[in-house]
Structure formats: structure tokens, C-alpha cells
Amino acid sequence: MCWSAQARWEGKKVTVEDLHTQSRWLKTFRRVARPRCRLVCAPHAGGTAQAYRSWPAGLPADVEVHGVQYPGRQDRLGEPAPHSMDDLIGPIADSLEPFLGEPLALFGHSMGAVVAYEVTLELERRHGQVVDLLAVSGSRAPHERENHDRHALDDEGLIEELRRLNDGFTDLLDSPELLELVLPSIRADFGVVAGYLRTPPVPVRAPLLVLGGSEDPDVSPEQLTRWRACAGGAFGTRVLPGGHFYLDDEQPVLDQLTPWLPGRRS
């Protein structure tokens, strides 16, 4: 499917406005003329699309890679941060419309896992099975959410919670100037997570791969298996060494993900 404003899906014209929406919500880290598939990755709470900027180096050369950019950060700092999952799902699904009809995989880590799950459900509601793989990481299942009100912590408590989740945040957390910029989006994202629950779970038609860290303080390997209730077809789990941000060591993650990626449709 081409990237021009004349691209079509089931007779629906994809307009210039659609492509503008896509450019705000998606950052492209590798463009491929005829990709084996497109991989669209949703970041964790407080995260940005840049979390996936180095992924193309560890994936096959024919995989096109995009990161989701939530509002309220970086180049979208002037936009309101999301207040609920509904603020994210519809616009992200809209941004993926030009990709439909070609092989498509969605990946999400932590908050991004349920974002990717809900976007998959929304696309399936609109069009049927158009996502060829849903891969989720570092998250409890949609019907078994965490009992954390991190968004209600004061700044000091929120900073300590971030240290607990990932000591790699040290440079950020020790910079008052950066904290002033990022804490509002982190707090807003934690509020989105706290307000989210889907019960009963709804199975996706896409194959479902679940990944996590063996030492994740919030999501145990056993809890990862409960995503099975969200699988309407193929299902697999992979547990890798590390904590909540085990995927900072990204190549083992990409090695597990690659065999599940779809190929070109005949």
C-alpha cells in the first residue's frame, strides 16, 4: 500500500488529513520500500517513541519500524497529555489506517502493552483481522490490573517509584530541569493506567506473544500467562532475564520477536 493520499483500504480513501494524523502519532525509524511487515511499537508510561529508535539495527532489514508518540511530550509537549485510554486508542488506530492490507505487527511495553492490545481490538472491530501479530511486554493482563495509584503520589514519591522501577532513570531523576518537563506526562500516563480495566477480557484474533522479565517486581512470569484469556488464536510466552525494563538489553527481545513477525501476504 502506498503512502500517498490516494492510498485506499476497502474503497475508503486515506486523506491528507489522515496522513497528517499519522505523522503526529508515529515516528518512523526505518522506512522500507516493500517491507516484509511494519512493526509499530507503543512505549511505557512517561515514555516516548524514541525508546525504539535503535530497534531497526537488531531486526531483519525488511522490517519497517515505527514508534508511537503519545501527546504531552517531546515534539508534542504543547498538547494535553492523555487522561484516559480513550484519548489514545482511537487516534492511534486512525494513524494505522494507511498500513492496513499489508502485514502489520504491534508491540507494546508496560502501559504500551495494553495500548497495543486495545488498538488491536479497535482495528479488529472496524475491519476484522488486520493485525498479524500482537506482542505485549512487562504488563499484567487487561483484566488483572495493578492496584497502584502512582499518579496520586507527590513529586518526591513519584520520583522514588521511578527509581524502584528502573535505576537506569538516575540521570533523568537527578536533573531538575528535565524532571519539570517529564513528570507531568509520567503522572498523566500513570493516571491512564490506574483508570484502565477490561473485564471480562476480549480475545484478539491476531496471534499473541507475551514477554516479560524474570525479576520484574510488578509482573511475575505466572501473571504473564494470564494474557492467555486475551488470545483467540496462537499464543506464546517468553521470559527473559531482568526486571521491569529487561528490554533495555534489546537484542534478546528482538531475537524472540523476529520469528513471530509476519511475512508478506500472497
Q: What are the tens digits of pLDDT across the range 66-78?
A: 999 999 989 999 9
Q: So what's the pLDDT on residue 179?
A: 73
**Whether the Cβ atoms of residue 243 and residue 216 lie closer than 8 Å to each other:** yes
CATH of domain 24-144+199-259: 3.40.50.1820
**Whether the Cβ atoms of residue 72 and residue 185 lie closer than 8 Å to each other:** yes
Tell me the pLDDT band of 183, cut-offs 50, 70 and 90.
Answer: confident
Count the neighbouring beta carbons within 10 Å of the beta carbon of residue 78: 7
| Tens of pLDDT, residues 87-127 | 999 999 999 999 999 999 999 999 999 999 999 999 999 99
| Tens of pLDDT, residues 17-27 | 555 557 899 99
Ordered by start, the domain boundaries in the chain are 24-144+199-259
Tell me the pLDDT band of 265, cut-offs 50, 70 and 90.
Answer: low
**Whether the Cβ atoms of residue 22 and residue 95 lie closer than 8 Å to each other:** yes
Please list, in sequence order, all residues whose beta carbon lies within 8 angstroms of the beta carbon of residue 104, skipping any fewer than 6 positions away: 37, 38, 40, 96, 130, 131, 132, 133, 262
**Whether the Cβ atoms of residue 69 and residue 225 lie closer than 8 Å to each other:** no
HSE-up of 77 (CA within 13 Å, CB side)? 7
**Whether the Cβ atoms of residue 72 and residue 83 lie closer than 8 Å to each other:** no
| Tens of pLDDT, residues 33-84 | 999 999 999 999 988 999 999 999 999 999 999 999 999 989 999 999 999 9
Task: Please name the residue ranges forming H helices in 195-233.
Answer: 221-224
C-alpha cell at 156: 518526591
Its pTM stands at: 0.86
Active site residue 110: yes
C-alpha cell at 182: 517529564
Whole-angstrom Cα distance, residue 113 to residue 230? 12
Catalytically annotated residue among 110, 137, 139, 185: 110
Catalytically annotated residue among 44, 66, 109, 244: 244
Closest CA to 110 of 65, 153, 165, 158: 165
Active site residue 44: no
